Chain A
Amino acid sequence: AQTVTQSQPEMSVQEAETVTLSCTYDTSESNYYLFWYKQPPSRQMILVIRQEAYKQQNATENRFSVNFQKAAKSFSLKISDSQLGDTAMYFCAFMKLYMYSGGGADGLTFGKGTHLIIQP
């Protein structure tokens, strides 16, 4: 079984600053994906960014980027030019892949989350 650890229960930064959220994971799988999800007070789960384990290049989505260190099993999220709307819970998640009827994926294993607060 795999585990996902987020060691920062809460973080607070000023608007426009850059913030990095940490995530480490443990797995014996070689084929997997990693995700960051955002959960604002509305409770909706929103996909922020994803990373394929077989790709060395770090994923980037606008102000969001990751630092994926496969050997170290680390997957941190960097938010640049933080905005008030970035205030939310952020969850790191792991998905292993398996071959099922032509290809498929398993469920997500989540970390416990980091509560990010952007101060005006």
Chain B
Amino acid sequence: NAGVTQTPKFQVLKTGQSMTLQCAQDMNHEYMSWYRQDPGMGLRLIHYSVGAGITDQGEVPNGYNVSRSTTEDFPLRLLSAAPSQTSVYFCASSYSGQAPAYGYTFGSGTRLTVV
């Protein structure tokens, strides 16, 4: 099925470990982004990309790295996990010119716990 696929769905990390959250879309969307959702905080933008090779920071980028080598994939890297990064992470994508018309397509989320 076409859409945004996030893996894994659940992950437990120890403080200081590194990992990559995967996000892939098969809709040829130019725009991809990562959000984190914390209780009582809504969703906050971490990083986004408007096309392959182009990334920029959102509201809460510290502790996260991204790269965009292909249109389809936009991985989020945690280099040294901290308990403050315990959250649910969402990937979202859209056609850049059509985001206002259709909003974004969201993945189903990754629940990350850092102990």
Q: Which residues of A contact B88 (CB under 8 A)?
A: 43
Q: How many residues of B contact A (CB 8 A)?
A: 29
B42 touches A105 (CB 8 A): no
Q: Are B100 and A52 in contact, with the CB atoms below 8 A?
A: yes
Which parts of B62-115 form the interface with A (CB within 8 Å)? 88, 90, 92, 94, 96-97, 99-104, 106, 108-109
Which residues in A have their C-beta under 8 angstroms from that of B96?
100-101, 103-105
How far in angstroms is the closest Cβ of chain B from A110? 4
How many residues in A have their beta carbons less than 8 Å from beta carbons of B?
29
Decide if B25 is an interface residue (CB 8 Å cutoff): no
- The answer on a CB contact under 8 Å between A50 and B103 is yes
- In this complex, what residue of A is CB-closest to B45? A107
Interchain CB contact under 8 A, B44 and A110: yes
Q: Answer whether residue B12 sits at the interface, using C-beta atoms and an 8 A cutoff.
A: no
In the bound complex, do residue A105 and residue B100 qualify as a contact, i.e. CB atoms below 8 Å apart? Answer: yes
Looking at the complex, which one of B43, B99, B103 makes contact with A110 (CB distance below 8 Å)?
B43
A95 close to B (CB within 8 Å): yes
Q: Which residues of B contact A97 (CB under 8 A)?
A: 100
Report whether over half of chain A's contact residues are helix, strand or loop; otherwise say mixed: strand
Interface residues of A in 23-77 (CB under 8 A from B): 33, 35, 37, 42-45, 47, 50, 52
Report if A112-B40 is in contact (Cβ < 8 Å); known contacts: A101-B50, A107-B58. yes
Query: What residues make up the interface of B, taking CB atoms closer than 8 Å to A?
Result: 31, 33, 35, 40-45, 48, 50-51, 58-59, 88, 90, 92, 94, 96-97, 99-104, 106, 108-109
5 contacts between A and B (CB under 8 A): A43-B88, A43-B108, A50-B101, A102-B97, A108-B45
